A = this chain, B = another copy of it.
Amino acid sequence: MSLTPLDYLAAREDRLVEDLKDFIRIPSQSGTPAKQPDVLRAADWVARRLAAAGLEHVSVCPTGGHPVVYGDWLHAAGAPTVLVYGHYDVQPAEPLHLWTTPAFEPQIRDQKLFGRGASDNKGGVMAAIAAVEAMIACSGRPRVNVKFCIEGEEELGSPSIGAFVKAEANRLACDLVMSADGSMWTADQPQVVLGLRGNFAACLRVWGPSHDLHSGIHGGTVLNPLEALSRMLASLRHPDGRIAIPGFYDDVLELSARDRAAIARVPIDEAAWKSEAGIPAFHGEPGYSPIERTWIRPTVEINGLWGGHQGAGPKTIIPTEAHAKLTCRLVANQEPERMFALLDRHLAAHTPPGVQSSLVAEGGLARPYAIPGDHPANRILTEVLTEVYGAVPYETRTGGSIPVLAMFAESLGAPAVNLGAATPDACVHAPNEFVHLRALHRAARSMARFCERLAAARARGPG
């Protein structure tokens, strides 16, 4: 019996880990101006690795922003075509002092590989490359056609790939998108993801006096921009957790009782969740369970704020201006453009006389995304995950965003399934991000097996 892709992957697990370490060492922070050369280095690294895996037509394709890395293997005439999506950019690693080992010097401890991007999303991208390399290497197996589309601006909200996918719709044409930017319920429990939240980001600036004022000379007679900012930010929600922006919930698609019952069947370990988050209690919109608040309800979050004196000791000033970074997570059928406009209008209405404010969009917009649980691709995915993990996957949603999935659906007419190596405990976007090594290898095996099973299903004809 000839070598199978799974045999091939099993024999090369060490190489997959070493490749991922090399990939992590490139600090490809797309949101950090000083790291732009590293972002390009990461694109080049992906292109070389795709070529080494046997992909053809490999190219680093310019976009309006960071390039997309493309490659394909199209020698399975008549078989379906799978487009692999992932991203080579990462979140900022700051605050650096909270990392046990440096963010860009990957280290293995307790069967986990630590480093910025280990789970989000360099692990998933590397697993997909390994899976496709295995399929190409093991000739004679039933196989699919494969295309890779790996972007460099996911952590910015994918501002450029929408135009790229639209312009390159012929080159990217496929039957199905396999997103490598997915996650599993745990390292041992798989999931099939039916929905993702949308997202947009904005920066709020509030300004008052033309320069920092002495708080003794002026204090008591000038509206302090930091006080105004605090008041404006506090106005975004009611104290009980409901969003207070007028009209914000108008377009939210309320789920049926059946859908909410399906969510209730997913076993959520709320104690473990609180422990992982390091919080004493949940807080959020009344009338919804904690998991519903993150899966099917929108949120507005303050991601950062700053203004005035932030160093050691006192400084007795009334600062000239203040800033806050905001993001909103959206659910079907909220349109990001409309939600930004509602936020903008609310903040303008809550800008006290004596200061001025502006709200500027940052990064791209992500629409919410959904795929039916009984889609044929999800039926195959459920089979494969059950085999690889030895456990039946949960049907879940996720509170995070992958903006490009809605773009693929729109421009290519292709649905997407979610695979990947990330897990909720993996500190993505935070210090000490890691990937479980067994989740990494299971991701690679699931991807290879899913492609084979997809080809076999096509060969049998529609089921």
A binding-site residues for B, Cβ under 8 Å: 30-33, 91-92, 94, 98, 155-157, 197, 199, 201, 208-224, 226-227, 229-231, 233-234, 236-237, 239, 241, 277-285, 290-291, 293-294, 297-299, 301-320, 322-325, 327, 329, 352-354, 362-363, 398-401, 424, 427-432
Contacts and interface: CB of A to CB of B under 8 A. Distances in A.
Contacts of A301: 215, 219, 224, 227, 316, 318
A430 B212 contact: yes
A115 B229 CA distance: 31
Contacts of A155: 314
Contacts of A234: 227, 230-231, 234
A284 B280 CA distance: 38
A309 B155 CA distance: 14
Given A299-B220, A303-B316, A309-B325, A427 B31 contact: no
A399 B217 contact: yes
A220 B297 contact: yes
B278 A210 contact: yes
Contacts of A227: 233-234, 236-237, 301-302
Q: Which of A197, A211, A424 has the most CB of B within 10 A?
A: A211
A200 to B, nearest CB: 9
A211 B426 CA distance: 12
A302 B320 CA distance: 12
Copy count, this protein chain: 2
B218 A294 contact: yes
A317 B210 contact: no
A363 to B, nearest CB: 5
B315 A400 contact: no
Given A398-B216, A430-B211, A304 B226 contact: yes
Nearest to A318: B301
A441 B157 CA distance: 60
Counting chain B CB atoms within 10 Å of each CB, the highest count among A299, A316, A431 belongs to: A316
A212 B222 CA distance: 34
Contacts of A98: 211
Contacts of A432: 211
